[in-house]
Amino acid sequence: MKIKNWIYLFYTTLLLGGMVGVFTGVIIEREQYINFLREGLALDILFSVFWLFGISLIFSLISQMGFFAYLTVHRFGLGMFGALWNPVQWLLIAVVYFDLIWLRYINFAEGEGILPYILTASFLLVVGLVVAYVKSKATNKGAFVPTLFFIVVVTTLEWFPVLRINDAKYLWLMLLPLLACNIWQVLILHRLTGTTK
């Protein structure tokens, strides 16, 4: 990848993460922003949006580190496992999906059912499947499993700091910018490197 393409990827991913984070935060805290508007507290709105943008930039940087780490791990995986690398990735996807449900449920559920944990993990899996399908159509069938692995497993690893807290507000505030950045990076990479179908 050329330096100008890497710079483009860096700044567009950064900006995308910041914007998605602001949008997510405003939606999550919409009542607070409505109150700010009613009371004419424009400065509070500005500071709050600035804070959301700043923290989302951090999430974007985490996403970018995860992306380049995965590109390295993927090459090592191909070298070490060869043709078995795809089955290994499928196994890891299944383990992470199961753990995202079960471990969170046994650690955090307080009289609630397992359904919310299934829905959260399934949301990530479905997004991963859709993105992997789009990527494989744009490049080749061999891109499906690596893309799914990246979206499910790597996003979960990047998301881990808030998974430990289990605060619904922060779960979504971090997940959506991470997902947006990861999806953008994986779908734009083949265009930047000239490896389109």
Q: What is the pLDDT of residue 45?
A: 79
Q: How confident is the model at residue 195 (pLDDT cuts 50, 70, 90)?
A: low
Q: What is the pLDDT of residue 126?
A: 98
Beta strands (DSSP E) in the chain are: none
CA distance 19 to 56: 8
Q: What is the pLDDT of residues 15-36, one digit of tens each?
A: 999 999 999 999 998 888 778 7
Q: What is the pLDDT of residue 197?
A: 57
Please check the confidence at residue 65 and state whether its pLDDT lies above 90: yes
Q: What is the pLDDT of residues 161-193, one digit of tens each?
A: 999 888 888 999 999 999 999 999 999 998 888
* CA nearest neighbour of 155 among 131, 135, 177, 179: 179
Q: How confident is the model at residue 151 (pLDDT cuts 50, 70, 90)?
A: very high
DSSP 140: -
Q: What is the pLDDT of residues 35-55, one digit of tens each?
A: 877 777 778 778 888 999 999
Q: What is the pLDDT of residue 34?
A: 79
* CA nearest neighbour of 53 among 84, 10, 20: 20
Residues 46-70 have a mean pLDDT of 94
Burial (CB < 10 A; 0-12, 13-18, 19+), residue 112, is: exposed
Q: What is the pLDDT of residue 190?
A: 87
Token digits for 139? 């490049």
Q: How confident is the model at residue 196 (pLDDT cuts 50, 70, 90)?
A: low
Which residues are CB-contacts of 9 (< 8 A; sequence separation ≥ 6)? 1, 185, 188, 189, 192
